[in-house]
Chains A and B, each alone.
Chain A
């Protein structure tokens, strides 16, 4: 195990940090929450094209940079810090990981170079409307039928990240052989996309209704169930890095505010009630960071350990962000409860992201199951 960052990785972090400070300040984050699209196309194309960040973990043969999850994790941590509005989790993490895991060479050659360039945005539709758990494959509603022209999909999926704008929809659907992944053109006839009213205004979700829409089978029929478990693990790890970025940022905000807000004639940070709260948050954030960095390394270097490392991340990083975002509001007092203050943006991001790829309780149950099964005692 090697968790030390290389000079190159540190340089990457600095570059992303500076880029996001420039392009994703709070004013811009707030402006984008009011736009139908939810992100700025020019900034996205600079991010993906000029800086090459969307293709960071995509192999070179498919137009990417050929790095791995450690590098991608650095980008996500920085993105989480600024609530960067972009189809990063949807297109770069979920869709690209799904394609790579399915290993369909023709589909990869067709889709991945444009995803890496940012000129195509993609997403994965995996959960039916009113689903409780993202990872409940049995609940999938979309069905695939084959006719002379090929496959068509019918059914609905909700909570689709950036589903209202994605050019390419990867859809989980049932066939006679089991769960399979299909590619659908987001603008195809028969596709109805309705933005959902998301709690987290900085990350969009949509309901997608498919009515006999032409689709392309990606990978083999019936292959999706096994492949998807790995994709959700990768997504959980990537999201963990994003959550750590957000948690560390709100802690920093709380600490800075505690130094300058004066009550009873002293900065509130001089009171032990506040000191101890912030010290506990520091421990929570650093623990979550350790889990996330380890899992990023595992994703890149030791895939056999991924289920356990991902459950560890899912079992602590989401809760760490929620706790930190909540207590940040508490430290700020009334001002932290206002619409004008950014604290609520992080609070909403924290609560939503904690539920995206399985609840913390679910991850902890799985972690316990894995360690209990692995023990030889």
Chain B
């Protein structure tokens, strides 16, 4: 029985193709539908968006969102968007390995929907872990269909690494909640339909026990989004000012005061999303650069290339090992740290290889590397700083005292 005919009914795993048949079908579909490298729809160029003005950035970001959205729709129509999710959530109720097959194929083609990671990875992690069936059926299908994107409203001016200090307040009102406060470092706030919000429902003295998690509709009065310019020149982040925005009762995810537990799930999923990224193969590009510059026999360059290759391969292999069921303590933090280290290492390596060309941004060889160089510091901060990841590895992974 094919997946499309199984959709809409409760299907047992015996109703699905075996792995080889499914993989062959996915591969054939990608062969026919995945964007070719270097084409206008090629994903590898749209992940790092920059711009000299807000307008220029927004235009490029909208393009990136559009490309990603089209891809998500195509995946959905083909039945590959979220194979293992229940039918009522927009999936096919298929075995989980089908997700892995699709993900592996996306990685092979260098395409990804990472741009929508909050909606496609963190929101479902939170809703499957803490939400109700009603909430899942309400929020997930539009995400899977590529119709709605989500963002996260977590950090505040006084609550960066110390998220227990969140002060944005949610107050009970008729039929739900009223929210007011200020959030910061929110990616993709502009186009997002919804946000995962952490807000205070108890007193300040209660610390993390006074926090709750909500789904907040972003397209409503009382929400003011102000872009922040980053060191890369882009306007990826935003400040979000919330003044009396409304959340209906269905928007409370997990129990009242359970925000910290929900947040832990969300951050674990974010770490995994960043560390498990299927981003462009930096070392492959570094190797291409070295060859074009004719530096293959330079011993110093070879040492740099080897270091970047070792970091990338061991990251990939570690992800692969985790997927194969190996127990790696604090796996999400391990791959997240390896990934941010890899981004730093490969872009710094490219600068050394480029030499003087690395001092100008309008050289065709240097331009993509400078974007990465200027993006890399952000990867060490987002989703929990490198230092917070090390604490997590030490405390949760190795069992050291807090």
* Chain A interfacial positions (CB closer than 8 Å to B): 1-4, 255, 258-259, 266-267, 269-270, 272, 274-276, 278-280, 282-283, 286-291, 293-294, 312, 315-316, 361, 364-365, 367-369, 371-373, 375, 377
Contact = CB atoms under 8 A, between A and B. Distances in A.
A365 B310 contact: no
B45 interface: no
B325 to A, nearest CB: 5
Contact of B305 (A1, A4, A361, A371): A371
Given A368-B306, A368-B309, 5 more contacts: A282-B329, A290-B314, A361-B303, A373-B296, A375-B288
A89 B140 CA distance: 55
A372 B399 CA distance: 42
Size bin of chain B's contact surface: 35 or more
B302 A372 contact: yes
B303 A368 contact: yes
B67 to A, nearest CB: 24
Interface stretch (B84-92, B253-261, B389-397): B389-397
B314 A316 contact: yes
Contacts of A290: 314, 317-318, 320-321
Contacts of A272: 387, 390-391
Contact of B395 (A267, A275, A293): A275
Contact of B320 (A3, A279, A368): A3
Contact of B314 (A1, A287, A365): A287
Contacts of A270: 400-402
B292 interface: yes
Given A368-B306, A375-B287, A375-B288, A269 B317 contact: no
10 contacts: A269-B401, A275-B391, A278-B398, A283-B337, A283-B338, A283-B393, A289-B321, A291-B314, A291-B317, A312-B314
Residue among A3, A274, A279, A315 with max Cβ neighbours from chain B (10 Å): A279
Nearest to B324: A4
B299 interface: yes
B303 A282 contact: no
Contacts of B317: 3, 290-291, 293-294
Interface of A is mostly: helix
Contact of A255 (B314, B320, B326, B399): B399
Interface in B288-303: 288, 290-292, 296, 299, 301-303
A269 B394 contact: yes
A50 B330 CA distance: 38
Residue among A1, A288, A371 with max Cβ neighbours from chain B (10 Å): A371
Contact of B310 (A1, A316, A369): A316
Contacts of B401: 259, 266-267, 269-270
Nearest to A290: B317
Interface in B323-363: 324-326, 328-330, 333-334, 337-338
A315 B325 contact: no
B288 A279 contact: no
